Structure formats: C-alpha cells, structure tokens
Structure 1
Amino acid sequence: MGCSFSGLNALYDAVNGGGDVWINENRFRILRQLGEGGFAYVYLVKELLSDPSNPADGISRKIKDSSHVSGDGTYAMKKVLIQNNEQLELVREEIRVSSQFSHPNLLPLLDHAIIAVKASQDQSWKHEAYLLFPVHLDGTLLDNAKAMKAKKEFFSTSDVLQIFRQLCAGLKHMHSFDPPYAHNDVKPGNVLVTYRKGQAPLATLMDFGSARPARKQIRTRSEALQLQEWASEHCSAPFRAPELWIAQAMLTSMRELISGR
C-alpha cells in the first residue's frame, strides 16, 4: 500500500513533542510544534546526519526533486495517531495518493513510515504514522488572511489572481490522472503561502487525506446517502462542493420526475 514500516519507535511524547524520531533510516530532531488537528500533529524537525560532512548521505538521497531538499536540514513532519484499522487504511490511502503527485503547487510527500506501537493505559492507539514534507514557515492562506485583516491589510488583486491561478494549476495536475482525482477539501487552511521577493506568493495545496477519484456514479438512494455521510466527515462544510450537498436531493427529484410521484 505504499507504506514503509520501521522497527524504531519515536522517542517523544505524543502531544508535546521533544526528542528524536526515526523515519526509516533517517533521524530527525523535533524543534517545535507547528500545528495539530484531530489525531494529527505537525512538527518542525531537523535532520540529524550520521556524517555531517556528507549531506548527500541523508534524506536527500530519497528526494527526486532537488528543489525540495532543505538547505538547513529542516522539514515538516506530520505524526498521526492511528487507533483502529479503518484509520490505518485511511492513512495508507493518503500516502498512496500523495505519492502520485509531482507539481510545484502541490505539497510533495518526501518520505513516510508507519510503525506499530504497544497500547497501554495512557494511550489507545496501535500505530503511528510519520509523513515528511518540505516546510513552509510563512503559514497558510488562512493564517495570513487573518493576520492581514487584523492590520486592515489585504492581498493585492494581482496576488489573489496569481494564487488562484496556481491552485488551478495544481488541481489540473490532479485531474490529469486516470482516473482523475478530486482534492475534496480545498480551503484557505489547506493552502500554504510562501512569500518571494519581487514575485507573487507561491501557493501550495496540501492535505490529501480527503482526495479520492473524482468520478463517482450514484445509482441508488443508499449510495447517495453514503456519499453525503462521507462528505460530512471529510469535506469542510463551508467549502464543500454543491454536488456533495445535493446528491440525495437530485436523485430524489429525478425519481419523482420519472415516476410522477
């Protein structure tokens, strides 16, 4: 399923962070927490090389695009606490889907590992997943919009159009697959912004946990209800595509048109 299993346990507390983490054969030190949500935590980490004089001996060997190799060894690491088999399959699917994309406006997955851990009275999860990404310390579009609003500032029209164009380019790449993929949770909180001198901000779409094949046929009311239930769990309501709200309503309307009832 595209997952690597490591026998090395993470040596840090699940919530507060601290210590070192192994992702397969590469070691990283947690510097600080960047964010959290649900059963996932995102940390700023720094690679610890066994031979500092030879940087090419570390994670850079696995990274296909050299532009994603950090100059100072820092990366973003997402840790997911997995409590059951359903969550485990969801994480595996996120890894599988993320690994397919290669586009400057989509956040690349650099490495990953899933390890089994022993449950105890203090923890209920049975696996932990570690996903490594390039770090974007300028924050998300949501973070920046809130900060700018507090100062009564706004993105220029030109920057807004450039950000929109970049997101469209990233989504076009997702749609180019066979079958095409839909992100299903495009929102300001899932868009990373990187400021560049003399250029429009770089927009990078992240979080492919809700990405699924875009084409889905609904043949029965039960299937429509299942789709709506899935959407309510995986797609943020204010940004949800209209068809994910009205699948059941459309199906019922068509049935009444056909049956005359």
Structure 2
Amino acid sequence: MSLPTLGEQASIAPSPLPVAVIQKLQAILGRLIANNQLEKCISIYVEVRSLNVRASLEALNLDYLGISISEFNNVSNIEGYISKWAKHLEFAVKHLFETEYKLCNDIFDRMGLDVWKSCFAETAGQAGILAFLQFGKTVTESKKDPIKLLKLLDIFASFSKLRLDFNRLFGGAACTEIQNLMRDLIKNVIERACENFWELLVQVELQRHTPPPSDGSVPRVGTFITDYCNQLLADEYKPILTQVLVIERSWKNEKFQKREFLLLSF
C-alpha cells in the first residue's frame, strides 16, 4: 500500500497528537504493512494505548467500580459512588475515549473503516469501559430500596446525556459487545426503576386503607411516602421518571391508568 503524499498528509483532521507525529506513525505503519506485520502492529498499539487510558482512569480512584452486589446492599454511602460514577463516566467518554477514537481514525484510517474501528473497540474494551457498565449492572441487581429508584433515574439520566457520544464512538459492528452490554443495562435500569415505582403505588394504596394512629398523629410511613414523592416528583426527577415510564409502557404497548397520571401530576 502506497503512503500518502505530503499534500494528503497536510489535510489530516485535527488530532490529539501533532501532525508530524501522526505522519511518522503512518510511515512506520506503512513499513510494517509491507512486511505483513499489521496485526502485530495493531496488537502493540492497543496494548500501549489501553494502558495509557487505564493509567488516567486509575488516577480517579475507581476501586468502587468492582463492588459486589452483597457489598452494594450494605454500603451506606452508595449514593456518593453513583454520583462519582456519573462524573467519571462522562470524563472517560468525552475526553479519554474520544481521544482514542480520533487517534485510531488518524493512524489507521487508510487501512479501512473496519480496521480502525476494530482497533478502537479493542482499546476501549481493554482500557476499562466495560467496568463502568458492569457497575451499572450491579446497581440494577441489588435489592429493592426506595432510594434506589432515585439512583436508577440518575443512571438513566447519565446515559441519556451521553447517548449521542456513545452512539458515535461505539456504533458499528466492531463494538457489538459494548453495544449489547449498554442495551441490556439501559433495559434493566428502566425495568428496575419501574418496578420500584409501581411498588410505591402499592404502598400508597395500602396507606389509604390503614386507620390513622389513635393519638391523631400522621403515620410515619405516610410521612415518609409524602416526603419521598415530593422529592421524586420535583423538577430534578419528574421529567426523567416520566420518560422512563413512557418507554416501559411503550415496550408493553400499554397506556397509563388514571391513578398513575394523577400521581405524576402532583
């Protein structure tokens, strides 16, 4: 395969590396291809670049990503972990993986779309994108809890915010594993969030038939449900909750019942 001319090289799109460095890497790549060493070249590239990304991620102290379900159920500050996860995921996608995406395109573009996309997919996989998705899966598999509904909505909101970035970076056949994990995770987030929400409706119905305390005070459960609903249906969560419920009902070809609309109209 012939190397690009100087004029062609000058038209390379802006890259995280200087143009001169990209040109040298492409020249080295050309020599390796001439000696049937493309696969070895890609293997070394993926190893080096994924280690570079992992080093950047390790600086963020991501040990919490490996938390088990049993540990998750017993950790009191899990809310803080999910908040960190959202920020770290956004940083990883918009900065680290975005950089690797551009580099793979710049260096391997002339090898064809399949080659550089596959190179990026391997780099992202080895660098740790799957650990972020696994953490989300752990959240969905943990025990039911009222606070969990809010955290599931936080996760859904994070993915919605990054949807265009995920589709662009991880679209295509090379990223099938990441796509499947992402699709399953979002499905589980929506289903678990809805399960928690419908359980809340059951508790509301039960309270309607529970006699008030003999001293005339407000039942503690009733106070909790009221405060919780006020938080759930505030401006921060209500639009996200509504979107999740609409998606879940669309999967089942169902419509909202009157009492469900009333709850969302608080």
TM-score, length of structure 1 as denominator length: 0.30
Higher RCO (C-alpha under 8 Å, 6+ residues apart): 2
Q: Which has the larger radius of gyration?
A: 2
